[in-house]
Structure 1
Amino acid sequence: MREATFLGFGNPVDPRPDELQAWAYHPESVPLNTMPRDWDLLISGDVLGPTLFELAMDRQCPARRFAQHCMYIYAADGVRQNASGQRKRRLKKFVERAEEVGDEPMQIWAHNCRVLMTRPELFDHHDWMEGGLVRHPRRLGLFNRR
């Protein structure tokens, strides 16, 4: 991805893809702790999903771990029973791409997504929504019990 100069967010609650991408290469300009509460949840939707995925795949992106965290949120939302067909299809494409060309953290993400798709009852809020699987990367097992 090409780095752009970050000029700030027009609306931090609803950033444009190009703003998010520019910020991700200069995250010190607007630290995460100054963003709106639950910003990760607010931006982890379909509009910014492709941007977040590209940032999560980029080994050189300074905000990569944050983007990976958002992709865990995106995936957890995408396996819900009432998730849109578009979200499920897009998630499947992201998983396939991460499996094909992703490095270890993204291959772990893809593996964990496949486990959750197969066994949604293994969803753990802390791991998927609060960054647990990014802070403590591990492959979930299909045979875990809750």
Structure 2
Amino acid sequence: MSVQESTFHGFANPVDPSSAELRSWAYQPDSVPLTSMPPDWDLLVSGDRLIMTLFDLAMDAHCPARRFALHCLYIYAADGIRTSFRAHPKRRFRKLVDQAERNGDEMMRTWAHNSRVLLSRPELFVYREWCEGGLVREGRRL
């Protein structure tokens, strides 16, 4: 049985979910609505430990929580770039961007493009766009 087919029973610790829990929730996001999550849950899960899971979810056009995962990728990119990669390894970030450019659909290529633009021009950072979901909602390129 795949994760998508299994029933999601909630998070043992919503502040620090496991990769399997996050993946299971992403395919049944209505089981635990985002509104019931801790404040700034998107910021909490957007770190190195879960970024590969979030990336996989964002790459899956059939994932019901895909836009949430993409939103977390925007947070991850901005956090890394704005801290000169003290928050996240630059190598991992570059691998994700390269993979999104090579294998992603338009949404993922837009994220990769915007991430490269911010990397070359960090002054273009706007909190609302990168950390509050503006670029995900608008789906636009910088």
Q: Give the TM-score, by structure 2 length.
A: 0.94
Paired position in structure 1 for 2:112: 110
Q: Which amino acid aligns with 2:121?
A: R
2:51 and 2:28 mapped to 1: Cα distance?
Answer: 19
Residue 74 of structure 1 corresponds to 76
**Which whole-Å CA distance do the structure 2 matches of 1:65 and 1:17 have between them?**
17
Q: 2:25 aligns with which of 13, 23, 28?
A: 23
Amino acid at match of 1:84: R
AA paired with 1:11? Answer: N
Aligned residues: 140
Aligned to 1:90: 92
Task: Give the Å deviation of 1:88.
Answer: 1.2
Question: Kindly tell me: are residues 99 and 2 of structure 1, through their superposed partners in 2, closer, same or farther at Cα, counting changes over 3 Å?
Answer: farther
| Contact 2:58-2:66 at 8 Å conserved across structures | yes
TM-score, normalised on structure 1? Answer: 0.91
Superposed CA deviations along residues 44-87 of structure 1, whole A, max 9, x for unmatched, are 00000000000001000000000000000000011124423852
Gaps of 5+ in 1: 141-146
C-alpha offsets along residues 7-63 of structure 1, whole Å, 9 cap, x if unaligned?
210100000000000000000100000100000001100000000000001000000
The separation in 2 between residues aligned to 1:5 and 1:55, in whole angstroms, is 17
